[in-house]
């Protein structure tokens, strides 16, 4: 039965492009679900947009010396293009800097304000006096009071997923200056989540939410059991949506207050364009609301946003929040800052027109119930062993043989054998099998069922061997090819949610558009035949091509290279010491000397006792270089010596000066080694 659905996908944050983790965690499953629902005749609003407010964008803008608007304009365009490139079929992709969103978010805030749903409070908040800035969210890091992660943010710990207030952090530190923050009073509006605790408990824990994924249900339950506290929904920032009430001057809405409202404003924008009523999609109890997100967003979509919707009063609540776990890459956590990622624009340069391969590999190995690992080897295997060897091979044989034997015209079948009948009955059962997996948000299982249908086709051809019967039994060959073509046609339809580009290609090869009506999902079970006899199909073209070892090695190489480059760029260099005057410098008497003798200081690890010819005398210098050099290695070395350093005793030996050392690129200790003989009147600056 046809239903109305509002499907949202987490708003990507516009401070960078998106990578395979985003695709696997949110956008591919959401797209499979939406495409499937449309194919089965439902009314779908698939909604997303760029999340353009919040602290990280202002930090990035400051770093790059541009405005926050420049940052969001740049990445909004890049992200939007990636979604188009990968066939993510949003009905609307909006952005939170749009006027319709500012208006919608302010109106939402105002409604809650007027209904006294906020607590207005002056509290002491973390403040960085040097930066003249309150420190909320990503402006402050510190130790998570729940799990001890030392890099928790002021609004959330990414390690344990806890939602935090900045003042909860242990040992907080400003992300702007590195200073330890002070406390300063400021007024904010708080959403009293504690007030909604009973409702949340009833709705999620005692309601019908047991069908939520165990990871989602478990997290939510533990937060509610821990007790909920008021959350500030405003911030002292200048980038964001201005607080629309008296006393809100200079303040903006908390990004996690405005972002989920972005789903609503994006729906409004779409409805206006399409001549629909947006309220049908957000206020009608018959509409099913589903949020696709990653596990780091569970608290916002299962606790905070539902509390906001409930407080507002006129909205429906989500039916399900099928959050995924995280995808790792080659055994390591995906990381934007460490450049350990596969960025979608880069993928398309290296694998042009192979979007479906990535969609398939990410779905077949999706992090649905636990964190999962993406490896290039697995990607290659999914392509070569499944898409090429099973799906592509089956289609290719069917199309080539039909063209070869019958000039591309589908032959008339004769009587079906038992195997034919069983095969056709199995094909008819597939839509229900795949539907059942998709409707339970089990997309990897669904993708494997699709591949099983292609396997069935391959096996059927291999068993019936039309290339053999062609010479001996014309009627049998025609029947076998007719049955195989029905399987190919079912694959063309059922693959659409998973492999949309391939599905299109296949439909075009099979000339689906010349049929009386485009085949739907349900036709596969209900129609006697999908492709009638005498229907003309087109010429074959390869759906997938083999991925070579060299391509995979190149990707691994690229990952390691970019990681190294990134490490070099982020290398911590010791800061310059305090400034000294010229006079200070001229006090140093630096000479070039030669090491005459060297021996290890007994019972120490680090110290060598050296006899050094300084040009003015031969003196003893104790040097802490024994871990880097053996005594015999340094004898005869020319070195730079600070000769007028006050003598001091080390382990009973008086050291009369100091050898100048530095480090090479590998962090090894090396001598500051003069290559000239014309010295010994002290080093000069010039
Ligand atoms: Zn934590």
Average pLDDT in the 100-125 region? 97
399 plus 466 within the same structural domain:
yes
Tokens coding 40:
């089965």
189 plus 147 within the same structural domain:
yes
Distance CA 526, CA 516 (A): 16
Residue where a domain terminates, one of 526, 549, 566: 526
- Distance of CA 206 from the midpoint of ligand 1 (Å): 27
- Distance of CA 334 from the midpoint of ligand 1 (Å): 18
- Distance of CA 296 from the midpoint of ligand 1 (Å): 12
Average pLDDT in the 226-244 region? 94
Average pLDDT in the 563-573 region? 75
Supply the pLDDT for residue 1: 62
Which of 588, 587, 589, 592 lies closest to 678, judged by CA? 592
Supply the pLDDT for residue 563: 83
- Distance of CA 99 from the midpoint of ligand 1 (Å): 36
pLDDT tens readout for residues 294-346: 998 999 999 999 999 999 999 999 999 999 999 999 999 998 878 899 999 99
Contact by Cβ (8 Å): 49, 92: yes
Q: Is residue 312 in a domain?
A: yes
43 plus 166 within the same structural domain:
no
109 three-class SS: helix
Tokens coding 42:
């439902």
422 plus 520 within the same structural domain:
yes
Kindly state the DSSP code that residue 409 receives in the 8-state scheme.
B
Indicate the number of domains in the chain. Answer: 4
Segment (H or E) for 252: strand 252-253
Q: Is residue 609 in a domain?
A: yes
- Distance of CA 303 from the midpoint of ligand 1 (Å): 17
Which of 299, 274, 315, 266 lies closest to 96, judged by CA? 266
Distance CA 567, CA 338 (A): 7
- Distance of CA 137 from the midpoint of ligand 1 (Å): 14
Q: Which residues make Cβ contacts (< 8 Å) with residue 633, sequence separation at least 6?
A: none
101 plus 121 within the same structural domain:
no
CA angle at 5 for the pair 359 and 429, rounded to the nearest 5°: 60
Q: Which residues make Cβ contacts (< 8 Å) with residue 500, sequence separation at least 6?
A: 35, 87, 89, 356, 359
| pLDDT of 679 strictly over 60 | no
First to last CA, the chain: 86
Phi, psi of 18 (to 5 degrees): -105, 155
129 plus 225 within the same structural domain:
yes
- Distance of CA 146 from the midpoint of ligand 1 (Å): 5
519 plus 594 within the same structural domain:
no
- Distance of CA 425 from the midpoint of ligand 1 (Å): 52
Q: Which residues make Cβ contacts (< 8 Å) with residue 273, sequence separation at least 6?
A: 92
CATH number at residue 425: 1.10.730.10
- Distance of CA 323 from the midpoint of ligand 1 (Å): 19
Distance CA 58, CA 71 (A): 9
- Distance of CA 251 from the midpoint of ligand 1 (Å): 28
- Distance of CA 556 from the midpoint of ligand 1 (Å): 32
- Distance of CA 302 from the midpoint of ligand 1 (Å): 18
Largest CA distance in the chain: 112
Residue where a domain terminates, one of 526, 560, 595: 526
Handedness of CA 493, 495, 501, 506 (dihedral sign): negative
- Distance of CA 169 from the midpoint of ligand 1 (Å): 10
Distance CA 160, CA 219 (A): 10
Residue 111: exposure state from Cβ atoms within 10 A (0-12, 13-18, ≥19) = middle
- Distance of CA 328 from the midpoint of ligand 1 (Å): 19
- Distance of CA 222 from the midpoint of ligand 1 (Å): 13
- Distance of CA 163 from the midpoint of ligand 1 (Å): 9
Supply the pLDDT for residue 675: 58
- Distance of CA 128 from the midpoint of ligand 1 (Å): 23
Supply the pLDDT for residue 677: 46
The CA–CA distances, whole Å, from 101 to 8, 52, 69, 233, 269 equal: 15, 11, 16, 17, 9
Which of 346, 347, 342 lies closest to 357, judged by CA? 347
Q: Is residue 339 in a domain?
A: no
- Distance of CA 233 from the midpoint of ligand 1 (Å): 21
Q: What is the mean pLDDT of the chain?
A: 92
- Distance of CA 152 from the midpoint of ligand 1 (Å): 7
Residue 678: exposure state from Cβ atoms within 10 A (0-12, 13-18, ≥19) = exposed
31 plus 93 within the same structural domain:
yes
- Distance of CA 367 from the midpoint of ligand 1 (Å): 21
- Distance of CA 143 from the midpoint of ligand 1 (Å): 8
| pLDDT of 659 strictly over 70 | yes
Distance CA 433, CA 346 (A): 36
pLDDT tens readout for residues 499-548: 999 999 999 999 999 998 889 999 999 999 999 999 999 998 999 999 99
Distance CA 116, CA 594 (A): 82
Contact by Cβ (8 Å): 262, 10: no
- Distance of CA 463 from the midpoint of ligand 1 (Å): 57
Distance CA 364, CA 354 (A): 16
- Distance of CA 371 from the midpoint of ligand 1 (Å): 17
- Distance of CA 154 from the midpoint of ligand 1 (Å): 11
Note every long-range contact of 673-681, with CB atoms under 8 Å and residues 24 or more positions apart, other chains counting. 673/637, 673/638, 673/639, 673/640, 674/592, 674/638, 674/640, 676/592, 679/591, 679/592, 679/615, 680/591, 680/592, 680/614, 680/615, 680/616, 681/591
- Distance of CA 158 from the midpoint of ligand 1 (Å): 7
352 three-class SS: coil
Top pLDDT among 85 and 585 is at 85
Q: Is residue 402 in a domain?
A: yes
Distance CA 122, CA 584 (A): 52
CATH number at residue 280: 3.40.50.620
pLDDT tens readout for residues 383-402: 999 999 999 999 999 999 99
Distance CA 20, CA 33 (A): 18
Phi, psi of 248 (to 5 degrees): -95, 5
Q: Is residue 382 in a domain?
A: no
What is the rounded (10 degree) CA torsion for 565, 568, 570, 571? Answer: 170
Distance CA 196, CA 257 (A): 16
127 plus 49 within the same structural domain:
no
- Distance of CA 298 from the midpoint of ligand 1 (Å): 14
Strand partners, 142: 152
pLDDT tens readout for residues 348-371: 999 999 999 999 999 999 999 999
Q: Range of 226's domain? A: 112-235
Average pLDDT in the 208-231 region? 88
- Distance of CA 164 from the midpoint of ligand 1 (Å): 9
- Distance of CA 161 from the midpoint of ligand 1 (Å): 6
Under the banding of pLDDT at 50, 70 and 90, the label for residue 575 is low
- Distance of CA 219 from the midpoint of ligand 1 (Å): 13
Rg (CA), the chain: 34
520 plus 395 within the same structural domain:
yes
Q: Is residue 493 in a domain?
A: yes
Q: Which residues make Cβ contacts (< 8 Å) with residue 86, sequence separation at least 6?
A: 23, 27, 28, 344, 355, 358, 359
Supply the pLDDT for residue 208: 64
- Distance of CA 221 from the midpoint of ligand 1 (Å): 16
Which of 660, 686, 685, 663 lies closest to 673, judged by CA? 660
Average pLDDT in the 258-284 region? 98
Q: Is residue 438 in a domain?
A: yes
- Distance of CA 159 from the midpoint of ligand 1 (Å): 5
Average pLDDT in the 652-658 region? 90
Which of 63, 77, 65 lies closest to 16, judged by CA? 77
- Distance of CA 127 from the midpoint of ligand 1 (Å): 22
Supply the pLDDT for residue 667: 64
CATH number at residue 607: 2.40.50.140
| pLDDT of 684 strictly over 60 | no
Residue 469: exposure state from Cβ atoms within 10 A (0-12, 13-18, ≥19) = middle
412 plus 502 within the same structural domain:
yes
- Distance of CA 151 from the midpoint of ligand 1 (Å): 9
Top pLDDT among 26 and 223 is at 26
Handedness of CA 426, 431, 432, 438 (dihedral sign): positive
- Distance of CA 162 from the midpoint of ligand 1 (Å): 6
Q: Is residue 570 in a domain?
A: no
The strand pair at 332-333 and 92-95 is best described as unpaired
Determine the length of the chain. Answer: 686
517 plus 634 within the same structural domain:
no
- Distance of CA 220 from the midpoint of ligand 1 (Å): 15
- Distance of CA 576 from the midpoint of ligand 1 (Å): 35
Which of 168, 140, 135 lies closest to 153, judged by CA? 140
Under the banding of pLDDT at 50, 70 and 90, the label for residue 167 is very high
Distance CA 206, CA 220 (A): 12
- Distance of CA 153 from the midpoint of ligand 1 (Å): 9
Distance CA 300, CA 292 (A): 12
Cβ atoms within 10 Å of 330's Cβ, excluding its own? 17
- Distance of CA 211 from the midpoint of ligand 1 (Å): 27
Residue where a domain terminates, one of 526, 547, 568: 526
- Distance of CA 145 from the midpoint of ligand 1 (Å): 7
Which of 114, 138, 123, 122 lies closest to 239, judged by CA? 138
Distance CA 391, CA 382 (A): 11
């Amino acid at each position: 039965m046809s239903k109305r659905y509002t499907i949202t996908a987490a708003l990507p944050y516009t401070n960078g492009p998106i990578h395979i983790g985003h695709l696997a965690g949110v956008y591919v499953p959401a797209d499979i679900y939406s495409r499937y629902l449309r194919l089965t005749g439902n009314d779908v609003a698939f909604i997303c947009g760029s999340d353009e407010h919040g602290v990280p964008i202002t930090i990035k803008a400051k770093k790059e010396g541009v405005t926050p608007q420049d940052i969001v304009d740049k990445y909004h365009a890049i992200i939007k293009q990636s979604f188009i490139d990968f066939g993510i079929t949003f009905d609307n992709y909006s952005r939170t800097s749009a006027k319709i969103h500012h208006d919608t978010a302010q109106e939402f805030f105002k409604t809650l304000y007027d209904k006294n749903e906020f607590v207005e409070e002056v509290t002491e908040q973390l403040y960085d006096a040097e930066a003249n800035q309150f420190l909320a969210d990503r402006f402050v890091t510190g130790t998570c009071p729940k799990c001890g992660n030392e890099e928790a943010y002021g609004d959330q710990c990414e390690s344990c997923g806890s939602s935090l207030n900045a003042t909860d952090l242990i040992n907080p530190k400003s992300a702007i200056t590195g200073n330890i923050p002070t406390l300063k009073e400021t007024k904010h509006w708080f959403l009293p989540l504690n007030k909604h605790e009973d409702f949340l408990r009833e709705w999620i824990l005692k309601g019908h939410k047991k069908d939520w994924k165990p990871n989602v249900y478990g997290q939510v339950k533990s937060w509610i059991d821990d007790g909920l506290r008021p959350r500030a929904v405003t911030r002292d920032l200048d980038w964001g949506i201005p607080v629309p009430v008296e006393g809100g001057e200079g303040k903006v809405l908390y990004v996690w207050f405005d972002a989920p409202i972005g789903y609503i404003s994006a729906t409004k924008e779409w409805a206006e364009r399409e001549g629909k009523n947006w309220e049908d999609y957000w206020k009608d109890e018959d509409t099913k609301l589903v949020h696709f997100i990653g596990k780091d967003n569970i608290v916002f979509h299962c606790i905070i946003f539902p509390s906001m919707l409930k407080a507002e009063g006129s909205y429906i609540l989500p039916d399900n929040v099928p959050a995924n776990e995280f995808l790792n890459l080659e055994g390591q956590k995906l990381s934007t800052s460490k450049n350990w990622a596969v960025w979608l624009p880069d993928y398309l340069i290296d694998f042009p027109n192979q979007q479906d391969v990535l969609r398939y590999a990410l779905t077949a190995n999706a992090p649905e119930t636990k964190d999962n690992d993406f490896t290039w080897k697995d990607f290659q295997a999914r392509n070569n062993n499944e898409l090429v060897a099973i799906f592509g091979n089956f289609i290719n044989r069917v199309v080539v043989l039909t063209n070869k034997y019958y000039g591309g015209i589908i032959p008339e079948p004769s009587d079906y054998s038992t195997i034919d009948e069983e095969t056709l009955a199995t094909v008819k059962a597939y839509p229900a099998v795949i539907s059942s997996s998709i409707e339970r948000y089990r997309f990897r299982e669904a993708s494997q069922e699709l591949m099983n249908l292609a396997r069935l086709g391959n096996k059927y051809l291999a068993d019936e061997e039309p290339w053999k019967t062609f010479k001996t039994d014309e009627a049998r060959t025609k029947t076998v090819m007719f049955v195989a073509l029905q399987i190919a046609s079912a694959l063309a339809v059922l693959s659409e949610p998973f492999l949309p580009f391939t599905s299109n290609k296949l439909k075009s090869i099979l000339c689906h558009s010349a049929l009386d009506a485009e085949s739907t999902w349900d036709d596969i079970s209900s129609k006697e035949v999908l492709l009638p006899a005498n229907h003309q199909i087109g010429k074959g073209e390869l759906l997938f091509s083999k991925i070579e070892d060299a391509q995979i090695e190149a990707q691994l190489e690229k990952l390691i290279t970019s990681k190294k480059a990134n490490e070099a760029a982020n290398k911590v260099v010791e800061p310059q010491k305090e400034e000294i005057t010229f006079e200070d410098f001229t006090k140093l008497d630096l000479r070039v000397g030669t090491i005459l003798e060297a021996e290890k200081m007994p019972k120490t690890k680090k110290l060598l006792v050296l006899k050094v010819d300084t040009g003015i005398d031969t003196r003893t210098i104790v040097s802490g270089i024994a871990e880097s050099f053996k005594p015999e290695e340094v004898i005869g070395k020319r070195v730079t010596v600070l000769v007028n350093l006050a003598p001091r005793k080390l382990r009973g030996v008086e050291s009369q000066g100091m050898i100048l050392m530095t480090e090479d690129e590998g962090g090894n200790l090396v001598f500051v080694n003069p290559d000239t003989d014309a010295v010994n009147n002290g080093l000069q600056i010039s």
